[in-house]
Amino acid sequence: MARFLKDRSKAKGLVPGSLVLIGRQKMDQPVIQLITYDKNNLLEESVDSVSSIQQKLSADKVNWINIYGLHDLEMIKKVGEEFKLPSLLLEDILNTDQSPKYENGENYDAFIMKILHQEKEANRIQAEQVTLILGENYVLTLQERKGDFFEVVRERIRKNKGRIRISGNDYLAYTLMDTLVDNYSILIETIGRQVEDIEDRLFKTMDSKIVEEIYRFKTELNYIRKAVRPVREFITTLLRTEDSFFKEKNFAFLKDLNDLTVQCAEAVEMYNSMTSDQLNIYNSNMSNKMNEVMKTLTIFASIFIPLTFVAGIYGMNFDYIPELKFRYGYLLFWVVILIVGGGLLIYFRRKKWL
Amino acid sequence: MARFLKDRSKAKGLVPGSLVLIGRQKMDQPVIQLITYDKNNLLEESVDSVSSIQQKLSADKVNWINIYGLHDLEMIKKVGEEFKLPSLLLEDILNTDQSPKYENGENYDAFIMKILHQEKEANRIQAEQVTLILGENYVLTLQERKGDFFEVVRERIRKNKGRIRISGNDYLAYTLMDTLVDNYSILIETIGRQVEDIEDRLFKTMDSKIVEEIYRFKTELNYIRKAVRPVREFITTLLRTEDSFFKEKNFAFLKDLNDLTVQCAEAVEMYNSMTSDQLNIYNSNMSNKMNEVMKTLTIFASIFIPLTFVAGIYGMNFDYIPELKFRYGYLLFWVVILIVGGGLLIYFRRKKWL
Amino acid sequence: MARFLKDRSKAKGLVPGSLVLIGRQKMDQPVIQLITYDKNNLLEESVDSVSSIQQKLSADKVNWINIYGLHDLEMIKKVGEEFKLPSLLLEDILNTDQSPKYENGENYDAFIMKILHQEKEANRIQAEQVTLILGENYVLTLQERKGDFFEVVRERIRKNKGRIRISGNDYLAYTLMDTLVDNYSILIETIGRQVEDIEDRLFKTMDSKIVEEIYRFKTELNYIRKAVRPVREFITTLLRTEDSFFKEKNFAFLKDLNDLTVQCAEAVEMYNSMTSDQLNIYNSNMSNKMNEVMKTLTIFASIFIPLTFVAGIYGMNFDYIPELKFRYGYLLFWVVILIVGGGLLIYFRRKKWL
Amino acid sequence: MARFLKDRSKAKGLVPGSLVLIGRQKMDQPVIQLITYDKNNLLEESVDSVSSIQQKLSADKVNWINIYGLHDLEMIKKVGEEFKLPSLLLEDILNTDQSPKYENGENYDAFIMKILHQEKEANRIQAEQVTLILGENYVLTLQERKGDFFEVVRERIRKNKGRIRISGNDYLAYTLMDTLVDNYSILIETIGRQVEDIEDRLFKTMDSKIVEEIYRFKTELNYIRKAVRPVREFITTLLRTEDSFFKEKNFAFLKDLNDLTVQCAEAVEMYNSMTSDQLNIYNSNMSNKMNEVMKTLTIFASIFIPLTFVAGIYGMNFDYIPELKFRYGYLLFWVVILIVGGGLLIYFRRKKWL
Amino acid sequence: MARFLKDRSKAKGLVPGSLVLIGRQKMDQPVIQLITYDKNNLLEESVDSVSSIQQKLSADKVNWINIYGLHDLEMIKKVGEEFKLPSLLLEDILNTDQSPKYENGENYDAFIMKILHQEKEANRIQAEQVTLILGENYVLTLQERKGDFFEVVRERIRKNKGRIRISGNDYLAYTLMDTLVDNYSILIETIGRQVEDIEDRLFKTMDSKIVEEIYRFKTELNYIRKAVRPVREFITTLLRTEDSFFKEKNFAFLKDLNDLTVQCAEAVEMYNSMTSDQLNIYNSNMSNKMNEVMKTLTIFASIFIPLTFVAGIYGMNFDYIPELKFRYGYLLFWVVILIVGGGLLIYFRRKKWL
């Protein structure tokens, strides 16, 4: 289960800024990849150690360093030294519970965000943390494990699609964030479609699975909201930050990203209120059904219980029950039965129960 | 069903700013119409291609270009080139999921809004996207399909009603937006009338259709809110934007439009809270009914079940049941029955169940 | 029924600023009255036509023009010409759905407000629109129909009570607005008293009329809120508007009016939350009652149904049922019955159902 | 019952600023007391008339004038003249419905606040209005009736406790306000303790009195909120008001008072949400109980009704019922009964109803 | 039980600023400890009296004075004199109900915060108040009783972990606050895990313990929210306060603390809304179960009650019941029974109750 706050007991009582991975180790060996490109050149290489990675960066090209795996604390420390990142930031990178946030350092802009994906089998949303660090001449991404989430961006770089090869590091950072938010919107859409599909079943069936699904959607929307909302806020902050590494000519992209994020946040709220409405409606329908069931029971019981009583009377063995001797006693019995039964039927019809 | 977020899978992994139509293709062939007018002249013509449309525009007249159909991406691209629109805006135009928004570009003001109409048969609100672009000497509208929504405006131009023929491009843009918001208010009024009509049935009938209707109204109000709310915000932004193409002398119209939008938004909130109240009341009524049903059952069952037991006793075939031999046994039986039954009746009356 | 949004179909597709009455015509012939007064003089006259009304106004006196009836569009147009009111304002005057609003024009301050009154028979709140226009040397009020709502103010002028005869046009406008808000507070008090009265019945009776009343109060409070809330906002705006026709020496009155409006708004919210609480409590009580009913049924049925079964057994006609031949069979039967019945009673008492 | 809005019919149609007491007359004769003190001197005297009270005030001492009883309008008017208070303020003093407010006049600071006390017998919160007016050299308090609420302050003055005797008029005003807010916090604590006590009963008993209590607490918290919330706002305003009679050296006290008020407001919100939670929980528990009751009924009825039917069959008097002749008919009957009954028991156990 | 507002009756009517302990005395004898350290030296000593503690402080070292136990008012007074703390602050220190707050004095920064810990046996959150005072050359902490809460910090100092020994008093104050907030996040995580665990049981069992747990979590989250929310606010204030004793170079730590606090506050809101959702879902499930129970009862009763009636008829002892004489009467009876029973079964299946 994707927990909101992971087990922090490891971190308890630690010096602030001391490094510890909060969350599970998700792969064996950390992997470091470097992609360097400009309009005409593209170099992808795998790097063994971060120690001397600064020398590999080309000042006039875009340098994208991918790091997968966060459990090698020594390596993370070296990353910090190499790129002059403060220990508090490193701590945040390792705390995979960290809410999304933006930090404007002297020599970097750091973005902590979440990769959300819906596990098919578990029908649950899983969150992975990804940290984007944009420096003067590099983009550094740190993920919990190797995945193909950013493969679309790498493909775009390789195939030289769009403006990515002719734009700078900040555009790459934007592209990565855009990929993340785009992913949120697809996820929301998937859930939204399921929410809207419930609508069609809501008035046709009383299947109690609906309640379970509604609850699941509510929980998932909660998780997504938690990933999306801070992004909206930090883009606003970013746009106002004067000394960020985002060039102003790329602000239009950030604004567009902001619009998409706002749209996501609104869709989450809207689907959340739809699920609440659906739950209310389900309960109303349930009451309706219950009422119908109770009416049926009441009509059956209220008609036949008195009649059974009458029949019981003439099943008694008293020595002297005059009605039993009447010539038309049995006939009379039926007349009484029909009158009483019919009267009750009319009574219930008057009450509009029939 | 009008979905909030349409299928974005087509857009997944695309370069930001690359063009793809999100939403269904709603007509075969895109259509382009140009209406050019001033106080004395009016020219309506159909245009084959956007390539050279700039030359057809008269600098001292109002030029209204209608484009219907968004699936011809080549054409949209040409529109972008012709009017110098950035690719991010073109992407927004094609993303028919786009929340309403206002964008103030260097050479244009762009407004993305929704045409809402209630489908008779489906009893559902359908949203179509319409983009209004106001430039130095033109108004450009892009719709998903050919419709007669703006026909009232065209009629007004043709018949020279009001001030439209003596006002500029900005007044035309305002008129179009006003037509859209006016349409919202008519839609809200239609729903509002139905909501208020439910009120009259709420205490008369327990028809479970009411729940279904309330849910439908809630959903529709949700959709309308989503179309209205951003408009309120962007008009405020527009009024504060200094370099927009709206002339200050027309600001009074924008303020009036703003008032109407605020009124719409408030009516949506009010009707939404009314439907919530109605659902609560319906549930209370349902409980009341259920209570009444249960009381009826309880009274019938609680009176006749003990009596039937008594009758059962004297139907037993024990060799020696002294009461059966009593001379007035049967009479006594009736006395007991009437006392027990009467006692229970008094008991239930005391409990105010009768 | 007082609808929130009236039938706008008449207005559909009209040129913005074109005149059409939205709402019913409420009287036959429009009536125009002019009251001119200063400290020493008072002149009340009925005026036939608005065409030359400007000449009748005395620059150094207070001039109050009452217009009743809005359906004579020609007259409204003339009023606009005479007092130089823009057509958008005239449109608002005629749109009797208009939310309360304040408009600061160059030569006037316009206030659109609502007269609310509770119809005795219908038990419904009716809203009438009243427009107050304060100019350099006049106060113009436009109402939907002739009523005696402002008669108290006229009486005060006639009898020279308070400071009205020695104050200017702005004080008259304030007095009229104060009369309107005072009326809201009386209405809220009336509803509030009824809401508080429900409290006393809430725990004594399960009368389903309570639900109906609560719903009615909720709806009425909704309507009042809609009339009150914008007033609060526009007084704040008015106090900040520098070029209004309200003299600063009268600002203390406006602030006092503001306090009263805030108090009304708060009372509306408070009573609304009280009705919500009451509905919840009613439902809880209903559940309690239902529970009691069900317990009664269950106790009766669960005790007597098994006993009836036992009696049924010995009513069977098998050739050989040994118990029937026992000497003390019948006595034994009663012992069994009493043990079973008593056991069940103890069982239910243990469950605290008795 | 403490009504929120008292009967305003007396005030209807009155000239704004004209004096009328809204609320009941709570004592026979108004009483005026004057306490004059400085570090070394203390004089308490009862004053007959306000007319010449100004002369009795010592410029270099603290002068505290207590007025009890508001129904003598002539006296109130004289107070207004003597202390140069505007008639709008006098009107507010007399309107005992007035929401708490702060008014900064030219020659005074006026504070309208509420004394809340819980009536033992009625178990209801009663509100009394108290007006504090702080002038250059006096503090004037006006109360609806003589009470000992401020006796603690008088004691403190008499016994020269704390800094009161060495501080000025503003400190006295602060002390009085602090006494009022302190009283709110004690009241909230009393209710809060009762709310928390409900918690312990919530899972032990289904007593419907709990609902009644919860409702009462909700209503009381509503009343307290209404008294507290404006105080929080007006202290903030007071701290920003530059020309108030509060000396800056006493601002620390005001800030402390503000903290206490904020704490009260938060506790009110917290207890309110706790009562809402409790009501929800109560309803859930009620449903649980109902479910248990229904299960009991269903198990009893569903087992014995079929069995009774079987017994009924063999009680029939058909000439030829072969089973009745069987040698082991009766034994077989019991076998069938036990199988059917046992089967149903197993069925209900499988359903986890047992 | 951790009450929100403790018994203030002791404080009633006291002079503001006079000292009284609100809350229970939690230990016998107050204890004072002094830890003085710099990079190279560390001195821990126990101090008998606060009177001359100022002399023991080293200007160029970090001085941390721990005081446990607040009931010795004389000692608290002396602390106030020694460190020149105003009496209002001392009052706040003693009022263990005090909401968390930050106060910026001339010669100190004071932070009032809460230590929260979950009592194992009582399953309740207990709050203890801790006051942190940061002066020019000291950090003073006052706690209600001796506990080992800050032992982790002392260990860090002793073992010279992290930067604590090379940083100043402000860093120590930050470390203490960080320890507190870290503790909140661990507590929230513990509750959050339990909340998420409920999820798994929610659809499997109807155990009414779930409701009790949900209520407990809601209450606990309420208490935590009350401790966390003000911290978020006061850190923001602190960051804006220019003359605080926090050095700007340590602001990054405060920002990090702020992030953690925001994260805590968000997690509280999220878990609170999750518990609300769970309660709703529980109720829906309960309704579902009830419906199922009722259906079972209705089906059994509605099928067998009519059949029992039929059997009752032929158990009657009328002299002349022709059917009883029929040759195949008994067979016919069974045919009727099977038709009626089967018909009802089909009827219920049609209704989808089976």
Could you read off the pLDDT of E16-34 as tens digits, one per residue?
656 777 777 777 788 999 9
CB contact under 8 A, A281 and B99: no
ipTM: 0.81
Nearest chain B Cα distance for residue C223, angstroms: 9
Give tens-digit pLDDT for C92-143: 899 888 889 999 888 999 999 999 988 766 667 888 999 999 999 999 999 9
Q: Which of A244, A305, A258 is nearest to A105 (CA)?
A: A244
State the DSSP H helix or E strand holding residue B119, giving kind and residue range, or none if neither.
strand B108-119
Per cent of chain A over pLDDT 90 is 52
pLDDT at E6: 55
Neighboring chain C residues of B272 at a CB cutoff of 8 Å:
none
pLDDT at C275: 94
Interface partners of B (3+ CB pairs, < 8 Å)? A, C
Contact B48, B30 (CB under 8 A): no
Facing B290 at nearest CB: one of A283, A294, A315:
A294
pLDDT of residue D3: 47
Separation CA A80–CA A74 (nearest Å): 10
Q: Given an 8 Å threshold on Cβ–Cβ distance, is C256 in contact with D16?
A: yes
Q: What is the pLDDT of residues A33-70, one digit of tens each?
A: 999 999 999 999 998 888 878 888 888 899 999 999 88
- CA closest to B197 among chain C residues: C1
**For helices E251-313 and E209-240, what crossing angle results, to 10°?**
160
For chain D, 354 residues long, give each residue's pLDDT as a single digit of tens. Answer: 344 455 555 555 566 666 777 777 777 788 999 999 999 999 999 988 888 788 888 888 999 999 998 888 889 999 999 999 998 899 889 988 888 999 998 899 999 999 998 876 666 788 899 999 999 999 999 998 888 889 999 999 999 888 899 999 999 999 999 999 999 998 998 898 899 889 888 888 778 889 999 999 999 998 899 899 899 888 988 988 888 999 988 898 998 899 889 889 989 999 999 999 999 999 999 988 999 999 999 999 999 999 999 999 999 988 888 888 888 889 999 999 999 999 999 999 998 887
Which residues in chain E have Cβ-Cβ distances shorter than 8 Å to D253? 16, 88
Do the chains contact at A222 and E270, CB–CB below 8 Å? yes
Q: What is the pTM of this model?
A: 0.85
Q: How many CB atoms lie within 10 A of CB D146?
A: 17
* Angle (deg, nearest 10), helices D251-313 and D209-240: 160
Q: Identify which of B9, B222, B315 has the shortest CB distance to residue A273.
A: B222
Q: Do C211 and B321 touch (CB under 8 A)?
A: no
Q: Which residue of chain D comes nearest to E217, CA vs CA?
A: D277
- Closest by Cβ to A324, choosing from E188, E278, E318: E318
What's the confidence (pLDDT) of residue E2?
41
Given an 8 Å threshold on Cβ–Cβ distance, is D15 in contact with C163? yes
The pLDDT of residue E3 is 47
Question: Closest by alpha carbon to E4, among E223, E155, E244, E196?
Answer: E223
The average pLDDT across B330-346 equals 93
Q: How many CA atoms lie within 13 A of C83 on its CB side?
A: 30
Instruction: Give the whole-angstrom CA distance, residue A294 versus residue A299.
Output: 8
Q: Once rounded to an integer, what is the mean pLDDT over residues B218-244?
A: 89
Mention every residue, 6+ apart, whose C-beta is less than 8 A from residue E179: A13, E149, E150, E152, E153
SS3 B15: coil
Q: Which residues of B touch C1 (CB under 8 A)?
A: 196, 199
pLDDT greater than 70 at residue E214: yes
The pLDDT of residue E348 is above 60: yes
| Structure token pair of residue D47 | 């004053």
Domains and CATH numbers, chain A: 9-285 (3.30.460.20), 294-350 (1.20.58.340)
> pLDDT grade, residue B7 (50/70/90)?
low
Which residue in the set C199, C262, C309 is minimally distant from D311, CB to CB? C309
Q: How many CB atoms lie within 10 A of CB E61?
A: 20
* Predicted pLDDT at A157: 93
Q: Which of A160-164, B192-196, C297-301, E9-13 has the lowest mean pLDDT?
A: E9-13
User: Which of C179, C189, C232, C250 is most worth mutating to test chain D (most D CB atoms within 10 A of its CB)?
Assistant: C189
Mean pLDDT of B151-164: 90
C288 to chain D, minimum CA–CA distance in Å? 7
Buried b (16+ CB within 10 A) or exposed e, D157-184: beeebbbbbebbbbbbbbbbbbbbbbbb
Calpha distance E126→E119 (Å, rounded): 7
* pLDDT of the residue at D1: 37
Q: What is the pLDDT of residue C23?
A: 75
pLDDT value at E330 more than 70 = yes
Contact list in B for residue A270 (CB cut-off 8 A) is 4, 222, 226
Q: Which residues pair with A129 in a beta bridge?
A: A114
The residue ranges of chain A whose pLDDT is under 70 are: 1-18, 120-123
**Does E1 sit within 8 Å of D182, measured CB to CB?**
no
Tell which of D248, D298, D353 to mutate to test the E interface (max E CBs under 10 Å). Answer: D298
Tokens, residue A255: 């604004």
E11 vs C47, higher pLDDT: C47
CA distances to A88, B234, E156, E171, E182 from A15, rounded to whole Å, are 11, 48, 7, 11, 11
What DSSP letter does each residue of E221-279 carry, written as one string? HHHHHHHHHHHHHHHHHHHH-TTSSS-GGGHHHHHHHHHHHHHHHHHHHHHHHHHHHHH
> Quick check: E284 and A86 CB within 8 A?
no
Distance CA B288, CA D132 (A): 51
Chain D residue nearest residue E312, CA to CA: D312
Where is pLDDT greater, at A55 or B177?
Answer: B177
Residue C26 has what pLDDT?
A: 75
Residue numbers of chain C with a pLDDT score lower than 50: 1-4
Q: Which chains touch E (3 or more CB pairs under 8 A)?
A: A, D
* Chain-chain contact of D283 with C281 (C-beta, under 8 angstroms): no
